[in-house]
Amino acid sequence: MPSPLDWPPAAIDILVFAFGYLLGSIPFGVVLTRIAGTQDVRSIGSGNIGATNVLRTGRKGLAAATLIGDLLKGTVAVCAVKWSVDPIVPLVAGAGAFLGHLFPIWLRFRGGKGVATFIGVLVAISWATALAFCLVWLATAYFTRYSSLAGLVASAVTPGIIWFGGQTTAAMLFAALAILLWFKHRDNIAKLIKGTESKIGQKSTATDLE
């Protein structure tokens, strides 16, 4: 039986993408709240499965666990295939994890908004850029008080930072992921334009890491 290293590149990419997608599809927000016996997270607040909405259950520990789980599934997906000599393979796994979170097969393709998993993939691809992402997020959130805007701005500058770091292919991947992240935040963008988006510190607001 041939070693996976001897498989055609296309076959490896398909399997790696499927692995990343299934890992990313794990709905930690739904699973953890169900285990804890709280109401279905999809029936409250925004109806989203991410840490923001889990926090609306009043269970900070569950929200933190959801955040960590959503982040780690991006990191694990990439790190699990770093054995490959092909630098594209980890990127394929990361893309799969991100898409799995956004469109999980277990939840009829209705998933989260992607910020936490975006960061998780970024940590595994370029930890320095992940640090820059967090700094941009913090600065934007500090000056505007909008957590959603902070995530949008940080994701938008990420491809440029990676590009200047010499990782051209990774920059193109994160540009595509950022576009999808913005698409999933279209309701937040509409509220920002109207001036109706909740600010950090307001009762209805939590960190936008869904």
Tell me the helix, strand and coil percentages in the chain, rounded to 5. Answer: 70, 0, 30
- Number of neighbouring beta carbons within 10 Å of residue 157: 15
Q: Give burial (CB, 10 Å; 0-12/13-18/19+) of 112.
A: buried
* Global confidence as pTM: 0.90
Tokens 């994890």 correspond to what residue?
97
Q: Which long-range contacts (CB under 8 A, 24 or more apart) does 56-63 make?
A: 56/206, 57/33, 59/33, 62/32, 62/33, 62/36, 62/38, 63/206
Tokens of 11: 């076959």
Note down pLDDT in tens along the chain; length 210 residues.
555 566 777 888 999 999 999 999 999 999 998 998 888 888 887 778 888 788 888 888 998 999 999 999 999 999 999 888 889 999 999 999 999 999 999 999 999 999 999 999 999 999 999 999 999 999 999 999 998 999 999 999 999 999 999 999 999 999 999 999 999 999 999 999 999 988 876 655 444 565
